[in-house]
Amino acid sequence: MDYYKASFFYEPLLSTKHFVSQELQTPVGQSDYFVHRDPAIFPNPDTFDPDRWIRAGKENVNLKSFLVAFSKGSRQCIGINLAYAVLYLTVATLIRRYDMELYNATEDELRTARNFLLPRPEKGHATVNVVVKDILTT
């Protein structure tokens, strides 16, 4: 099978020496999935441990600089605060009103292993099915 060249207008140029230029800049990026799963930043990254944020605060470690789900800097999502507000209210409402458990799935099946645009489980679907055991009253 023949492969086409990435660019047929120009041949690639190879440099024979290292140089630093202020004029030429290459934007560098990385997947937030791999930042959030780095054991050097978050020990035991696959363990659900919300207390790690509390422990980090007591030890004067700023983990917020590693929370990059909405990107960082000048290209950060402008709806970050609205998204957080909606997430907090939705999760709080679900937890307050319903007693739920996983349906037809285990925690191992839900562990993310692939990252295309969004993290995906190794097998199965990227959805979580739950059974509402009880509707709680407040």
pLDDT at 9: 64
Q: Do residue 58 and residue 106 come from a single domain?
A: no
Q: Residue 1: inside a domain, yes or no? A: no
Annotated binding site for heme: 77
Q: Do residue 59 and residue 88 come from a single domain?
A: no
pLDDT at 56: 83
pLDDT at 32: 77
pLDDT at 3: 63
Range(s) of the domain holding residue 67: 28-77
> 82-102, pLDDT tens digit by residue?
998 999 999 899 889 999 888
Q: Residue 136: inside a domain, yes or no? A: yes
Q: Do residue 90 and residue 122 come from a single domain?
A: yes
pLDDT at 137: 77
Q: Residue 21: inside a domain, yes or no? A: no
Query: In the structure, what pLDDT confidence band is assigned to residue 105 with cuts at 50, 70 and 90?
Result: confident
The more confidently predicted of residues 39 and 24 is: 39
Annotated binding site: 77
Q: Residue 104: inside a domain, yes or no? A: yes
Q: Round to the nearest angstrom and report the end-to-end CA distance of the chain.
A: 65
Q: Residue 6: inside a domain, yes or no? A: no
Query: In the structure, what pLDDT confidence band is assigned to residue 50 with cuts at 50, 70 and 90?
Result: confident
What's the pTM value of the predicted model, to 2 decimals?
A: 0.45
Q: Residue 109: inside a domain, yes or no? A: yes
Q: Residue 43: inside a domain, yes or no? A: yes
Instruction: Provide the domain count of the chain.
Output: 2
